[in-house]
Amino acid sequence: MHPKATADEVIRFIAFYSANPRMYTRQDISKREIELGFTRKCGSTTAFQAFTPLNLQRRQNFWTLPFPLGVVGIPRALLIDIDECGLWLEKKVRGHGKTITGVRVRAPGVYGHGEKWSLILGIDCSGMVWVRFAKVAGTTVEIFDDYVRTILNTLAPPPAPQRTFMWDNLTAHNCARVYNRVVAAGHRVLRRPAYRPVDGPIEYVFNQLQCQLTNRIGEVTDDVSFSTLVHDIITKLNGFDATFVHCGYT
């Protein structure tokens, strides 16, 4: 845990719980934080559900037990991590103008708050990437089943090594239709711990994508250029094996 606290909260904590209950100033706290190497960062959020007894136990099982409860004994080279995210292409552009009070500034243009694109992405530590990117509101069972079937068609059939598909608890992921398709092809499914994106290598890949989209968003002028940019960034991503290692997979 890396808790958040204001300078005033730190001062109060020291005064109440220190063996030397001295009242420091904000400047004292700031100076000492610099000496300790602390830097100011935006706080990240972990869902409250991650800390329920059941989900804590499930995460413990995931990292300490073998399949089907955990990942112990599964070489990371045989894992395929999959998830999806939504991307919005904002199409409502507002300018400014001048008019008298009570009268709106009007101009012709595109109306709408943006359109959602859904990206399903799968990776393994060898550098393989499986992508489905389309202008749809979300991932349905039919969409995800078709995506998984596409991955299975690229994998070598038995007696090639059995692969383990990892994903979260989204309904579309864990329906019988998708599960049976994976098992029928000679592979298996392992759910990642709920509410713990830190355990998913794919989440770090999404972060890389987001950062590069931010830097290159000026290249987007329409749907085609947006799709082209996303695919171009994804095809150039690398370092997946290091990401699996970083998450704790061996």
For residues 58-97, one letter each, b for 16 or more C-beta atoms within 10 angstroms of the residue's C-beta and e for the rest, the string is bbebbeeeeeeebbeebebeebbbbbbbebebeeeeeeee
> What b/e sequence results for 112-147 when a residue is b if at least 16 CB atoms lie within 10 Å of its CB, and e otherwise?
eeeeebbbbbbbbbeeeebebbeeeeebebebbbeb
Pair 155, 187: CB distance under 8 Å: yes
Q: How confident is the model at residue 61 (pLDDT cuts 50, 70, 90)?
A: very high
Per-domain residue ranges of the chain: 1-44, 50-92+112-247
Expressed in percent and rounded to 5, the helix, strand and coil fractions of the chain are 45, 15, 40
Q: Out of 3.90.1150.10, 3.40.1390.10, 3.30.465.10, 3.30.420.10, which CATH number does the structure's domain 50-92+112-247 have?
A: 3.30.420.10
| Long-range contacts, 69-78 (Cβ 8 Å, 24+) | 70/190, 71/164, 71/166, 71/190, 71/249, 74/164, 74/190, 75/250, 76/125, 76/241, 76/244, 76/245, 76/249, 76/250, 77/124, 77/125, 77/126, 78/161, 78/162, 78/163, 78/164
pLDDT in tens, 67-108: 999 999 999 999 999 999 999 876 655 566 767 766 766 665
Write down the pTM of the prediction.
0.77
- For 18-44, how does the pLDDT look when each residue is reduced to its tens digit (9 = 90+)? 888 789 999 998 898 888 887 766 655
